Chain A
Amino acid sequence: MSSFWEYANPRRFMRTTDWLLPVVAAAALVVTATGLIWGFFFTPDDFRQGSTVKIIFLHVPSALMAINAWIMMLVASLIWVVRRHHVSALAAKAAAPVGMVMTMIALFTGAVWGQPMWGTWWAWDPRLTSFLILFLFYLGYIALWSAIEDPDTGADLTAVLCLVGTVFALLSRYAAFFWSQGLHQGASLSLAPGTRVDWAYKAPLYVSMTGFALIFVALVLAGTRTEIRARRMQALVARERMT
């Protein structure tokens, strides 16, 4: 029986993603399009927020993926530190820009939503602030990757930064909640009882959340494949020099 760890072999990873990547990419396209079109054109306007409520179909999925991308980087970094699988380190590297863009989308759509609803583009609200801080952590992580030439050293150092950064990002989040009162509403979706969002919105929201998750997977797979090819090219160049 095949195990998950077989994909630590770059060749095996490439062979599987050869067919997996188009499938995931196509699914991402279809599901996201379904979710967004359903959300934008086939849901009623909110009785208080009007049509601006529809930004939720971009805002919530991107915010979700912004956080999950960091968690995925954390797990991938841990796997790299513990088991030294190169594919894992490269996947963490590939996930960072995607996560950063997701954070930007969440911040931007939040600003567009906040302007008509709260009357301001930006407020130093704990949730907004912790997202901005998350954005800074992504920036630092990406900058460190790009500053180091040796790929293994880069993988090691960024992995440690990711581990330490996670702790401090969490601390910053709680510090932000301690520091300022919130303008942002609480969690839109939760397992706790009580109605928060009506099913008319929730159903397309779940669809577009799935779509964003698929987009993330597709982009990370594509990015990891690019990184693996870049590493192979480096190896070829090095071998060329040896002879």
Chain B
Amino acid sequence: MIALLTRDLRLAIRAGGGFGLGLAFFLILAVLVPLGVGPEPAVLAAIAPGVLWVGALLACLLSLDRIFALDWEDGSLDLLATAPIPLEGVVSIKALAHWITTGLPLVLAAPLLGVLLNLPGEAFGWLVLSLLLGTPALSVIGTFGAALTVGLKRGGLLLSLLVLPLYIPTLVFGAEVVTRGAAGLPVQTALLLLAGITAGSVAILPFASAAVIRINLR
């Protein structure tokens, strides 16, 4: 399993295109929003939590189809499916690799972009914490979507149509944490619910993803 993880990480970093792309997209979004909305600091501060969370969501979405597509094309997915480790484990490792290459950089870059968007000072900690708690759910849910569309020729657009509605609860609670943090309100409820969604998704969705891949490989 460790070998699979290092292989996926190495592929993501060396094959190019996937690793930095999500981050670059996140940055561009954070630049485009003020250009579209106008530079008033008060407006930006009000929308910053939502924009950062939506940006993280979309940046995550961008690299989802790479999770299984390449392995599907060259047949290594068939080998992984017949490997001694259970397919559920393979799927979890794939999601973990996706999180390390996409989710974690987003978490680290988010405070920087928060400065660009004039995020209130007390919200930075909550932004990082909520993304840290929420992005694993994004990766796991996205892996499920990628597994659903792996056999399709033009799965990219369909993938976003399938995955984005599934992201709604994570987005709502994640953005709520930051908004409440920025307003100085207690964030505990939203934070716990966000953590609950992540824990539930991580626990259950790999089984669904593995089932779906078995169907697709049939």
Instruction: Give A residues with C-beta under 8 Å from B.
Output: 133, 136-137, 139-140, 143-144, 147-148, 153, 156-157, 160-161, 163-165, 168-169, 171-172, 174-176, 178-179
Contacts and interface: CB of A to CB of B under 8 A. Distances in A.
Contacts of B216: 153, 157
A172 B165 contact: yes
Given A147-B152, A153-B218, A175 B212 contact: no
A161 B145 CA distance: 9
B144 A164 contact: yes
Given A157-B148, A168-B166, A143 B212 contact: no
A209 B152 CA distance: 40
Given A147-B158, A157-B148, A164-B205, A171 B197 contact: yes
Nearest to A177: B172
Given A147-B152, A148-B152, A168-B169, A140 B161 contact: yes
Chain B interface size band reads: 20 to 34
Given A133-B165, A143-B161, A144-B162, 20 more contacts: A133-B168, A136-B165, A140-B161, A143-B158, A147-B149, A153-B218, A157-B212, A157-B215, A157-B216, A160-B148, A160-B211, A160-B215, A165-B165, A171-B197, A175-B168, A175-B173, A176-B172, A178-B172, A178-B190, A179-B172
**Can you list the 4 inter-chain pairs with the closest CB atoms, starting with the nearest?**
A175-B172, A171-B169, A175-B169, A156-B215
Contacts of A147: 149, 152, 154-155, 158
B151 interface: yes
Contact of A139 (B161, B169, B197, B215): B161
Interface of B: 141, 144, 148-149, 151-152, 154-155, 158, 161-162, 164-166, 168-169, 172-173, 176, 189-190, 193, 197, 205, 208, 211-212, 215-216, 218
Nearest to A137: B165
A164 B169 CA distance: 13
A212 to B, nearest CB: 25
B208 A160 contact: yes
A136 B160 CA distance: 11
Contacts of A133: 165, 168
Contacts of B215: 153, 156-157, 160
